[in-house]
């Protein structure tokens, strides 16, 4: 934390200029992330009520079928300044949640599962012997980090990300989102920028929340094409005489296009010997690779075209070597999959009790807010344009007293993000939660009536 | 006899006869006490054979042969009419034996499910359909019109998994979550939450039902056992059940034994009695220096997790030592994270598994490190001293050193185990947590034989 900046920021906030433009300049809050910024963010911007509504799944209503203990059995965990880590926090109401966050000012808020009993009182329950403290519901979640793609991107590495490699995340969103909806039949899906180097996905349908660990693992395996081993030359293994319809669709609708029209050029995949050798390694036929290698080593073309030209040569040669059969033609697909297909952090999805960072947190390293991403136009998402903490505070200063109470975010660049969350995710979700609660309540009433009327 | 007949009868829908029971309710059978035990032991042989096959990574077709062979060999009966009874009785006896802890239940569930799977696959299609009907599965075969609409996709999946495509095949449409293993292998076409499964995949659906039913039944059996049966049968069945349960071999030492917690006040005593030398050395060094380098923290920390030290206790344990050297604040800042990390509470949140002997032996401890395998990494002089402190006598000590010279480090450790415990270790030592578990098992049985009243409490 740079103390100087904080104090400057504070001073600026007090200045009361006349001209709007003047004010914006003077109110500009220095970049960065610190506890004071965060306090202001939690004080004025964080959408507590929406978060509470979401995680209540309709159980905060008045219908007799509502389970009022539901939200209170959800685990939250806070990471405080100095890496102090508070697990198993729980809250009964939106204002309890709000007060705790405002008071503790967590650098990170994680959301865990809904347990059978209030997680804050788990020790009292565990005394009974039989362990009844167990997760009963949890969104199906996915975590995708760009740092897992380091062997297929040349622009950045590690936690860094730029507009050249971000399309890898776009691909992941498109492939996974489509499958979750079309294959698995889910409809309440929230994608969130993780604040730095990737995306999170929350599948919130009732059916998804009630999946057991085995079923979660099955979905993760359905998505898996990597047989990750750094020592083997091939990372993607597409065996069998044909591809599963899910893989075919992903390939035809997303992967091929992004590979040929985006990444091939933006990552310069065939630019030099080191790079094309990596691709040649995936072809198990010596005669094909040596022919291509010979061509490419002797060919000195201009930079721009070289990627496309070499890819075309490779495809042509593989497709024409008919006598080698399907194995070689499958290579084209394997190369495309290797460079584009989503890489999930599987462990996060497999177990109900894994924690995942809450939407609308602020990433301490980048100062960026974990905003929702609309999968319908995820190709337009630009991580470098995501509002930062200092930007939001600056906007709040400029906006003056526009909003009342909860709605301060409306005037800021977070406004559209919260609105998307509310209108495109929360409202349809709560509508179907309400229906679900009513249906199961009626069924229960019917059942008890039947059992009485004998 | 009555109940079995009625069970048989229900299996005879549509005139199809099967000898594969679903074990829905306990039979009202008269059975001689010796048979009660003998049948159970025979079935246990089958289940252990399956467990062994699975841990060797046998492929499905190898497993199929293995399971059917095991069944034929062990579950025969001189009177053919008794075969089904033997099957049912042995199953329910083992339920009593294996209902009592989470780990036992998990093992039994997995082995019985595997057994059922291959027996089901071995049945004729009409028998399979009859069994499906018995499970009350509400699924109907997909209609012609619907089949036509998804035919291309179904054929594509069939080709993808290397099966011939037939046009007149029967498909069932079921919620995808009912057939997780088919989803995981992309062996089915899934659309809008429904999986289309072919007749030869029905086993996956049935297995899910079988497992979930048995899983619930085991929990109930456990409740009945603790609330009634144990007391009612304390002179008759209970001793047999207890004895059967001790013949159980732990399946996987890499999994922490969740039910077996140890508490901090016992840890010094347990370290002395049951830790293998590698862990004992780390433990003593930690107590001595109030510090361990990273490799040692990992090796010992994960081992302790596997032993059953809960996270809170682990934090307290490490903090108590480290704070004497670096202060509590620095511990909280720099070291606590790593411990929570080991427990899957930080970073990638992987629940890390304790190191195996192989991993420990192949590690390369550097200056100031205390991890690694003492049999490999200690000088002979130091090793002799350490073994003597453990109470290994002169003669066995020479045997241990002999193994070390021939680079049989795990055998050396096994001999140490046998010398210290005065009892053989047939499986050999492959994992520090296995060493620990085996040691505890021996100590428990020694305690119980000298103090019979303690048995029930110790094994519960």
| Mean per-residue pLDDT, B239-264 | 60
Active-site pick, A50, A98, A145, A205? A145
Which residues does chain A have within 8 Å of residue B193's beta carbon, measured at their own beta carbons? 184-186, 207
Residues 360-399 in A contacting B (C-alpha not used; CB under 8 Å): none
pLDDT at residue number B3: 32
Q: CB contact, 8 Å: A176 with chain B?
A: no
pLDDT at B133: 85
More confident residue, B165 or B176: B176
Chain A contact for B332, CB < 8 A? yes
HEC assignment per residue over A361-390? CECCCCCEECCEECHHHHHHCCHHHCCEHH
pLDDT at B350: 55
CB contact, 8 Å: B224 with chain A? no
Sequence ranges of the binding site of B = 278, 357, 373, 413
B332–A84: do the CB atoms touch at under 8 Å?
yes
Task: Say what the pLDDT of residue B218 is.
Answer: 94
pLDDT band at B43 (very low <50, low <70, confident <90, very high): very high
Average pLDDT of the segment spanning B164-184: 86
A145 included as an active-site residue: yes
Contacts of B350 in chain A (CB under 8 A): 347
Is residue A183 annotated as part of the catalytic site, yes or no? no
Nearest by CB to A221, from B184, B191, B348: name it.
B184
> For residues A215 and A231, what is the distance between their CA atoms, to the nearest angstrom?
30
- Tell whether A25 is within 8 A of chain B (Cβ): no
For the four alpha carbons of B399, B405, B411 and B413, in that order, the dihedral sign comes to positive
Which pLDDT band, with edges at 50, 70 and 90, does B166 fall under? low
User: Chain A within 8 Å of B265 (Cβ-Cβ)?
Assistant: no
A245 with B157: Cβ contact below 8 A: yes
Rounded Cα distance, A235 and A227, in Å: 6
By CB atoms closer than 10 A (0-12, 13-18, 19+), residue B306 is buried
Give B363-418 pLDDT, tens digit per residue.
777 667 889 899 988 888 889 999 999 999 989 999 999 988 887 888 899 999 99
Question: Of A217-221, B165-169, B437-441, where does the model show the most confidence?
Answer: A217-221
**CA pair distance B234, B226, nearest whole angstrom:** 11
In this complex, do B183 and A221 lie within 8 Å of one another by their Cβ atoms?
yes
**Active site includes A214?**
no
Tell me the H-state helices in A179-285.
Answer: 206-209, 213-222, 245-250, 256-258, 264-266, 273-280
pLDDT in tens, chain A (454 residues): 444 444 443 444 434 445 555 555 566 778 778 889 999 999 989 999 999 999 999 999 999 999 999 999 999 999 998 878 899 999 999 999 999 999 999 999 999 999 999 999 887 776 655 567 889 999 999 999 998 898 899 998 888 899 999 999 999 999 999 999 999 999 999 999 999 999 999 999 999 999 999 999 999 999 988 754 333 334 677 777 789 999 999 999 999 999 999 999 999 999 888 999 999 988 888 888 999 999 898 876 667 688 999 999 999 998 887 655 666 778 899 999 999 999 998 889 998 989 999 999 999 999 999 999 999 999 999 999 999 999 999 998 886 555 455 567 777 899 999 999 999 999 999 999 999 999 999 999 988 887 765 5
Query: What pLDDT shows up at residue A302?
Result: 63
Distance from CA of B205 to the nearest CA of A (A): 13
Tell me phi and psi for residue B430, to 5 degrees: -115, -15
Mean pLDDT in residue range B316-338: 86
Residues of B forming the annotated binding site for [4Fe-4S] cluster? 278, 357, 373, 413
Position B2 confidence tier, pLDDT thresholds 50, 70, 90: very low
| CA atoms of A350 and B436, how far apart (whole Å) | 29
Tell me whether residues A354 and B332 touch, CB distance under 8 A.
no
Contacts of A215 in chain B (CB under 8 A): 177, 180, 183
Closest CA to B331 of B367, B370, B292: B292
pTM of the predicted protein model: 0.71
Sheet architecture: strand order including B194-198: B171-175, B194-198, B189-191
In percent, how much of chain B has pLDDT > 90?
Answer: 36
CB of A243 within 8 Å of any CB in chain B?
yes
* Residue B52 or residue A442, greater confidence: A442
In the predicted structure, residue B359 carries a pLDDT above the cut 90: no
Contact in structure between A61 and A438 (CB atoms under 8 Å)? no
Residue B1 predicted with pLDDT over 80: no
Distance CA B253, CA B353 (A): 9
Statement: residue B140 has pLDDT above 90: no
Interface contact flag, A184 B157, Cβ < 8 Å: no
pLDDT reported for residue A27: 67
């Amino acid at each position: 934390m740079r103390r100087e900046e904080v104090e400057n920021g504070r001073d600026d906030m007090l200045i009361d200029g006349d001209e709007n433009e003047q004010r914006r300049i003077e109110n500009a809050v220095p970049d960065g992330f610190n506890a004071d910024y965060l306090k202001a963010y939690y004080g004025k911007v964080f959408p507590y009520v929406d978060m509470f509504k979401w995680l209540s799944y309709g159980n905060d209503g008045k219908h007799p079928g509502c389970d009022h203990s539901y939200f209170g059995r959800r685990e939250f965990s806070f990471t405080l300044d100095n890496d102090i880590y508070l697990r198993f926090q729980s809250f009964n109401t939106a204002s309890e949640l709000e007060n705790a966050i405002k008071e503790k000012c967590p650098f990170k808020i994680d959301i865990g599962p809904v347990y059978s009993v209030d997680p804050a009182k788990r020790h009292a329950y565990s005394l009974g012997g039989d362990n009844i403290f167990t997760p009963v519901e949890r969104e199906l979640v996915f975590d995708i980090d760009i740092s897992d793609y380091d062997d297929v991107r040349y622009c950045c590495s590690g936690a860094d990300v730029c507009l050249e490699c971000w399309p890898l995340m776009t691909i992941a969103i498109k492939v996974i989102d489509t499958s979750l909806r079309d294959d698995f039949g889910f409809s309440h899906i929230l994608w969130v920028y993780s604040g730095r180097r990737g995306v999170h996905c929350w599948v919130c349908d009732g059916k998804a929340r009630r999946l057991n660990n085995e079923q979660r693992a099955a979905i993760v395996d359905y998505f898996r094409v990597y047989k990750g081993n750094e020592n083997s030359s091939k990372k993607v293994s597409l065996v069998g005489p044909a591809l599963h319809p899910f893989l075919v669709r992903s390939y035809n609708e997303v992967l091929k296009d992004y590979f040929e029209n985006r990444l091939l050029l933006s990552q310069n995949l065939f630019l030099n010997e080191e790079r094309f050798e990596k691709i040649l390694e995936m072809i198990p036929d010596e005669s094909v690779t040596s022919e291509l290698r010979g061509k490419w080593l002797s060919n000195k073309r201009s930079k721009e075209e070289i990627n496309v030209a070499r890819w075309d040569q490779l495809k042509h040669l593989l497709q024409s070597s008919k006598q080698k059969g399907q194995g070689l033609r499958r290579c084209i697909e394997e190369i495309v999959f290797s460079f584009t297909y989503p890489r999930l952090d599987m462990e996060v999805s497999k177990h109900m009790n894994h924690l995942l960072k809450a939407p609308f947190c602020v990433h301490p390293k980048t100062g960026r807010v974990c905003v929702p991403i609309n999968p319908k136009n995820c190709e337009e998402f630009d991580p470098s344009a995501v509002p930062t903490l200092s930007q939001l505070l600056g906007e709040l200063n400029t906006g003056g007293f526009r909003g009342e109470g909860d709605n301060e975010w409306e005037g800021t660049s977070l406004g559209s993000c919260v609105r998307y969350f509310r209108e495109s995710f929360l409202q349809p979700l709560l509508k179907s939660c309400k229906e679900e609660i009513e249906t199961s309540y009626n069924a229960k009433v019917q059942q008890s009536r039947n059992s009485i009327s004998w | 006899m009555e109940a079995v007949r009625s069970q048989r009868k229900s299996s005879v829908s549509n005139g199809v006869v099967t000898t594969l029971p679903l074990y829905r309710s306990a039979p009202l059978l008269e059975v001689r006490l010796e048979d009660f035990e003998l049948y159970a032991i025979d079935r246990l042989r089958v289940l252990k054979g399956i467990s062994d096959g699975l841990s060797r990574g046998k492929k499905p077709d190898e497993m199929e042969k293995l399971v059917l062979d095991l069944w034929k060999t062990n579950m025969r009966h001189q009177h053919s009419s008794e075969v089904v009874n033997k099957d049912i009785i042995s199953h329910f006896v083992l339920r009593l034996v294996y209902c009592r802890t989470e780990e036992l239940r998990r093992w039994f569930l997995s082995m019985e499910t595997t057994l059922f799977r291959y027996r089901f696959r071995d049945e004729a299609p009409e028998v399979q359909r009859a069994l499906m009907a018995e499970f009350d599965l509400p699924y109907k075969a997909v209609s012609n019109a619907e089949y036509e609409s998804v035919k291309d996709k179904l054929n594509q999946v069939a080709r993808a998994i290397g099966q011939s495509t037939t046009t007149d095949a029967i498909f069932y449409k079921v919620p995808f979550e009912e057939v997780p293993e088919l989803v995981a292998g992309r062996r089915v076409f899934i659309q809008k939450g429904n999986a289309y499964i072919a007749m030869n995949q029905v086993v996956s659906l049935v297995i899910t039902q079988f497992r979930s039913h048995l899983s619930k039944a085991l929990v109930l059996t456990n409740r009945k056992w603790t609330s009634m049966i144990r007391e009612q049968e304390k002179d008759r069945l209970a001793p047999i059940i207890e004895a059967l349960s001790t013949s159980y071999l732990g399946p996987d030492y890499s999994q922490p034994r969740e039910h077996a917690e140890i508490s901090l006040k016992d840890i010094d005593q347990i370290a002395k009695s049951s830790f293998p030398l590698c862990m004992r050395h780390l433990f003593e060094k930690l107590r001595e220096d109030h510090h361990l380098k990273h490799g040692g923290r990992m090796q010992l920390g994960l081992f302790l997790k596997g032993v059953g030290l809960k996270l809170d206790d682990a934090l307290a344990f490490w903090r108590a030592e480290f704070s004497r050297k670096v202060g509590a604040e620095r511990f909280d800042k720099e070291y606590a994270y790593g411990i929570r990390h080991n427990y899957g509470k930080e970073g990638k949140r992987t629940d890390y598994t304790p190191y195996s002997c192989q991993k420990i032996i192949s590690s390369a401890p550097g200056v100031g490190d205390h991890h690694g395998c003492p049999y490999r990494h200690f000088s002979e002089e130091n090793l002799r001293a350490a073994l003597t402190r453990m109470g290994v006598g002169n003669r066995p000590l020479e045997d241990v050193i002999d193994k070390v010279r021939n680079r049989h480090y795990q055998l050396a450790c096994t001999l140490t185990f046998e010398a210290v415990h005065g009892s053989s270790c047939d499986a050999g030592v492959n994992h520090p947590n296995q060493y620990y578990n085996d040691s505890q098992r021996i100590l428990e049985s020694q305690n119980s034989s000298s103090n019979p009243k303690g048995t029930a409490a110790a094994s519960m």
